[in-house]
C-alpha cells in the first residue's frame, strides 16, 4: 500500500484516508465484499476482526467484533446504505452490543469509500463523516487515524497472495 494522505477536517466533521494499491478496482473491492478477506485487514493488526454476519448489499447489515491482545472484544455494526461496485460504497457504522444491535443508534458515523482506477492500480479514498465535533475528537482520541492506516496496510498481503497464485499458475502478475 502506498499511503497518500490523511486529513481531519473539524469544520466539515470529516476524516479522510487516501491509499493506493497495485491491483484493479474490482480486486480491491473484493477485500470489502468477501468477509473472510475483510477479517484479515479490518482493524489494526493487534485488534483483528471477525464478521459474525456480513450481508453485503444495499440495506444489508453486518456485525463484527475486534479482539484485543488481552481478549477484550469491541463490537460494531454496519448498514450498507448504497453501493456501485467496484466504484463506491456508503456505510453507516457504529458501536454494537454482543448481539450486533447498536449500543446507541445516534452515535453512528457514515463513511464513503471510492475506488479510482489509476491504470496499473487503484486509489481508495475513505471519507468518514461525524455527527459532531465531540464525536470526531472522541474517535480521534481512540486512535482512529492510526488504526485505519494500520488496517489498510494489511490489504497488500491479500493482493500479494493473488500475484503468488498467478505466478504458480503461470499467469501474468498484473492486477
Categorize the per-residue pLDDT at 2 as very low, low, confident or very high, splitting at 50, 70 and 90: confident
Distance of alpha carbon 40 from the chain centroid = 11
Inform me whether the pLDDT recorded for 173 exceeds 70.
no
- Tell me, what DSSP letter sits at residue 6? E
Query: pLDDT digits over 7-45, tens only?
Result: 999 999 999 999 999 999 999 999 999 999 999 999 889
Region 127-131: what's the mean pLDDT? 97
Inform me whether the pLDDT recorded for 57 exceeds 90.
yes
Where residue 91 falls (left for φ over 0; alpha for ψ -120 to 50; beta otherwise) is beta
Region 122-148: what's the mean pLDDT? 94
Inform me whether the pLDDT recorded for 169 exceeds 90.
no
CA distance 6 to 108: 21
CA distance 43 to 49: 6
* Per-residue pLDDT, 162: 66
Indicate the pTM of the whole model. Answer: 0.89
Inform me whether the pLDDT recorded for 167 exceeds 90.
no
* Per-residue pLDDT, 96: 97
Burial class of residue 41, CB neighbours in 10 A (0-12, 13-18, 19+): buried
Categorize the per-residue pLDDT at 3 as very low, low, confident or very high, splitting at 50, 70 and 90: confident
* Per-residue pLDDT, 168: 53
CA distance 130 to 144: 12
CA distance 67 to 2: 26
Q: Which residues pair with 2 in a beta bridge?
A: 20
3-state helix, strand, coil split of the chain in percent (to 5) is: 30, 40, 35
Backbone angles phi, psi at 91, to 5 degrees: -135, 140
Query: pLDDT digits over 77-91, tens only?
Result: 999 999 999 999 999
* Per-residue pLDDT, 93: 96
* Per-residue pLDDT, 34: 96
Amino acid at each position: 500500500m502506498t499511503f497518500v494522505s490523511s486529513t481531519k477536517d473539524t469544520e466539515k466533521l470529516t476524516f479522510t484516508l487516501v491509499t493506493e494499491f497495485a491491483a484493479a478496482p474490482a480486486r480491491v473491492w473484493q477485500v470489502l465484499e468477501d468477509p473472510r478477506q475483510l477479517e484479515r485487514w479490518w482493524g489494526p493488526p493487534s485488534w483483528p476482526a471477525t464478521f459474525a454476519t456480513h450481508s453485503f448489499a444495499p440495506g444489508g447489515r453486518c456485525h463484527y467484533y475486534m479482539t484485543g491482545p488481552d481478549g477484550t472484544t469491541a463490537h460494531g455494526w454496519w448498514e450498507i446504505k448504497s453501493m456501485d461496485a467496484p466504484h463506491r460504497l456508503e456505510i453507516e457504522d457504529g458501536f454494537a452490543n454482543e448481539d450486533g444491535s447498536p449500543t446507541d443508534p445516534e452515535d453512528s458515523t457514515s463513511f464513503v469509500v471510492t475506488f479510482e482506477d489509476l491504470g496499473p492500480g487503484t486509489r481508495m479514498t475513505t471519507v468518514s463523516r461525524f455527527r459532531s465535533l465531540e464525536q470526531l475528537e472522541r474517535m480521534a482520541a481512540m486512535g482512529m487515524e492510526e488504526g485505519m492506516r494500520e488496517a489498510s496496510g494489511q490489504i497488500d498481503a491479500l493482493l500479494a497472495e493473488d500475484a503468488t497464485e498467478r505466478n504458480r499458475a503461470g499467469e501474468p502478475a498484473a492486477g
